[in-house]
A and B are shown apart, each in its own frame.
Chain A
Amino acid sequence: MKKRGINLLILFLIVILSYSLVSATGFSDLWGKITGKATSDTTSLNITVGNSAPTIPSVQAISAKNPTDGTTKSITFAFTATDTDGVSNLDDATPAAYFSKAGETTRYNSSCVLIGDLDANSANYSCTVNMWYFDGNGEWDIKVNVSDINGATGENSSTTFTYNLLTAMAMAPTALTWPSIGLSNTDTGSDNDPITINNTGNDNSLTINLTAYDLQGETTAIEYIYAHNFTVGVSSEGCSGTAMANATSTEVGSATLNKGNYSGNDGSTGQEQLYFCLKGLPQDISSQSYSSSGMDPWAVEIVT
């Protein structure tokens, strides 16, 4: 049995050796030489090597984020991309991230950066996407993608993050003035209104309440111009607006503050304007300055 195996091995070696010798000495072309027919020719070959698209197996979780009033919030996170054709096959100029939500402008960064290679097939990328103060609160979808050098793209859209609610405002001016007024004057508007209120957050459809206080005489402190002598409205001079009441939060009728980019300064997008009117004066007060300095300031309140 053992002997038979040795014989077979020797036979196999002889066959291999013979084929090598025949090929090396040109005997393989013997048939061509006899018949005159060509035994070799050139031909073009198209070989398609399969390309695997990259995949993105993991995206770093993003915790809930607060918007930053009046400006952008930079959100940075990382993701891992894998290409079975090798990490060098990933095109490091292509990773991108997109945050989207129905009814909102998609925020994105198409210039994410390579943090480093993780192994022979995977690399880590970092993305920073800027969210605006007026971007809607709620759940935002995260999509990341990356391409390889052959143009095949892989993406991951499986994660989300929460963008919180920010109720915020900025208003100017913060002190109102009137021209000199006689007792007989009526319907006198402030000479430095309107107060412009900017919505510097993402809370939408806010109502505006105003808490007014009687203005006290600066010389004779027992004399007042009463809060109910004032009206506040959204159009100049505010004289047909809502009447105020002392120390009472009063909703300014038809005043609404929506979210939006107020930088356009058009008086409506992310803005509301309030006009203040002094309807008339109590007839028994003396000539002096009246102010809120001895009382609380009037409060302009945005109510969610």
Chain B
Amino acid sequence: MEIKNKKIKMKLVLLSLVILSFPLISAAGVATPYWDENPLKLAPGESATVTLSLQNMVGEEDLSIKAEISEEAGDIATIIGNNQYNVPLGSEDIPVKIKIEIPKNAEVGDSYLVSVSFRQVSPGEGGMLHVASAFTSKIPIEIVSEEESELYRESSDVSYFFWILIFLLVLVIFALIFFWRRKKAKKVSKK
């Protein structure tokens, strides 16, 4: 029995206590312009680019963060460019661009939820049980008619200014014609 205990003691599992090589705080975050009560509104067949902003203001070191889109949303959402981001300490606006493409056969009233998971990439140093921070940002999408779409508002703003410009142009042309005719009439009457 004593021999067995000795064996067990010999099999003592030493869990490393060395932690000094790790930063004491791990901190990061992501800001989004969309949430449950403020969804992205798109019409069937439309596409848009959503920009999320990575932040690293509270930590102690530069971070490398990997982004992944959940499988359920994979069909309509893709990350533009590389999905690994360097987030220097003190930064608050590292952009993560997500392209959203709504299928043409989507119906008004449908909704989608795009989940983007961010995970701190391990610095790869030794230690016992290293813990990394991770967070998820969700982009709710509501399928609406073209008139209610976010893109429609943008395009209608553009067309509004376009029509004003056209109106002013027509006005100037009429004025020029008027003055030209008047000048011509004066010349004729002098003769």
The reply to whether B27 and A176 contact each other, CB–CB distance below 8 Å, is: no
Taking CB atoms, residues of chain A closer than 8 Å to B126 are 291, 293
Given contacts A171-B131, A292-B128, A302-B135, contact A66 B15 (CB under 8 A): no
Q: Which residue of B lies closest to A218 (CB)?
A: B16
Chain-B contact segment, one of A32-40, A43-51, A177-185, A233-241:
A177-185
Taking CB atoms, residues of chain B closer than 8 Å to A211 are 134
Chain-B contact segment, one of A67-75, A81-89, A98-106, A110-118:
A67-75
Within 122-144 of B, Cβ neighbours of A (below 8 Å) are at 122, 124-138
The reply to whether A192 and B19 contact each other, CB–CB distance below 8 Å, is: yes
Q: Per a CB cutoff under 8 Å, which of B13, B33, B122 touches A180?
A: B13
CA–CA, A177 and B13, complex, Å: 12
Q: Which residue of A lies closest to B24 (CB)?
A: A172
The reply to whether B8 and A182 contact each other, CB–CB distance below 8 Å, is: yes
CA–CA, A70 and B57, complex, Å: 7
A167 within 8 A of B: yes
B59 within 8 A of A: yes
The reply to whether A174 and B24 contact each other, CB–CB distance below 8 Å, is: yes
Given contacts A170-B58, A297-B122, contact A290 B31 (CB under 8 A): no
Taking CB atoms, residues of chain B closer than 8 Å to A201 are 29, 31
Taking CB atoms, residues of chain B closer than 8 Å to A137 are 35
Q: Which residue of A lies closest to B23 (CB)?
A: A174
A304 within 8 A of B: yes
Interface size of B in residues (CB-CB distance below 8 Å): 54
Q: Per a CB cutoff under 8 Å, which of B28, B117, B120, B128 touches A178?
A: B128
Given contacts A164-B31, A183-B8, contact A225 B13 (CB under 8 A): yes
A195 within 8 A of B: yes
B32 within 8 A of A: yes
The reply to whether A171 and B12 contact each other, CB–CB distance below 8 Å, is: no
Chain-B contact segment, one of A20-28, A145-153, A280-288:
A280-288
Interface string of B50-92 (1 = CB under 8 A from A): 0001011111000000000000000000000000000000001
The reply to whether B25 and A172 contact each other, CB–CB distance below 8 Å, is: yes
A92 within 8 A of B: no
The reply to whether A300 and B133 contact each other, CB–CB distance below 8 Å, is: yes
Q: How far is the CB of A277 from chain B (nearest CB, A)?
A: 12
Taking CB atoms, residues of chain A closer than 8 Å to B30 are 166-168
B148 within 8 A of A: no
A200 within 8 A of B: yes
Taking CB atoms, residues of chain A closer than 8 Å to B125 are 293
The reply to whether B26 and A303 contact each other, CB–CB distance below 8 Å, is: no
B110 within 8 A of A: no
B99 within 8 A of A: no
A169 within 8 A of B: yes
Q: Which residue of B lies closest to A185 (CB)?
A: B13
A77 within 8 A of B: no
A15 within 8 A of B: no
The reply to whether B11 and A182 contact each other, CB–CB distance below 8 Å, is: yes
CA–CA, A157 and B189, complex, Å: 62
The reply to whether B135 and A175 contact each other, CB–CB distance below 8 Å, is: no
CA–CA, A166 and B28, complex, Å: 10
CA–CA, A69 and B89, complex, Å: 12
The reply to whether B14 and A170 contact each other, CB–CB distance below 8 Å, is: no
Taking CB atoms, residues of chain B closer than 8 Å to A253 are none
Taking CB atoms, residues of chain A closer than 8 Å to B23 are 174
B145 within 8 A of A: no
Q: Per a CB cutoff under 8 Å, which of A167, A169, A171, A289 touches B128?
A: A289
B180 within 8 A of A: no
A267 within 8 A of B: no
The contact sample of 27 A-B pairs, CB cut-off 8 A, is A68-B92, A69-B55, A69-B57, A71-B57, A138-B38, A165-B34, A166-B55, A167-B31, A168-B55, A169-B27, A169-B133, A170-B26, A171-B26, A174-B24, A174-B131, A179-B15, A180-B12, A180-B14, A180-B15, A190-B129, A198-B58, A200-B58, A209-B134, A285-B11, A301-B134, A302-B134, A303-B135
Known: A173-B19, A299-B134. 11 other contacts (CB 8 A): A69-B56, A167-B29, A169-B27, A172-B25, A172-B26, A182-B11, A183-B8, A195-B131, A198-B58, A291-B15, A293-B125
The 9 closest A-B pairs by CB, nearest first: A168-B29, A170-B27, A301-B134, A70-B58, A66-B31, A297-B130, A175-B19, A297-B132, A69-B29
